[in-house]
Amino acid sequence: MLRVEGVGALVQARRLQEQVAAVPGVAACTINPRTSLATVSYDEAVLPKQELLRVLSVGGLFRVEEVPGLPAAD
C-beta separation of 73 from 2 below 8 A: yes
71 within a domain of the structure (yes/no): no
What's 36's domain CATH number? 3.30.70.100
How many domains does the structure of the chain reveal?
1
Which has the higher per-residue pLDDT, 72 or 67? 67
**Is position 73 within any domain?**
no
Chain segment 10-38, per-residue pLDDT in tens: 998 999 999 999 999 999 999 999 999 99
User: Per residue in 28-68, pLDDT tens?
Assistant: 999 999 999 999 999 999 999 999 999 999 877 889 998 88
Task: Please report whether residue 46 resides in a domain.
Answer: yes
Across 34-48, b (16+ Cβ under 10 Å) vs e yields: eebbbbbebeeeebe
Residue 12 lies in a domain: yes
Is position 33 within any domain?
yes
- CA–CA separation, 25 and 4 (whole Å): 19
Range of 33's domain?
A: 2-66
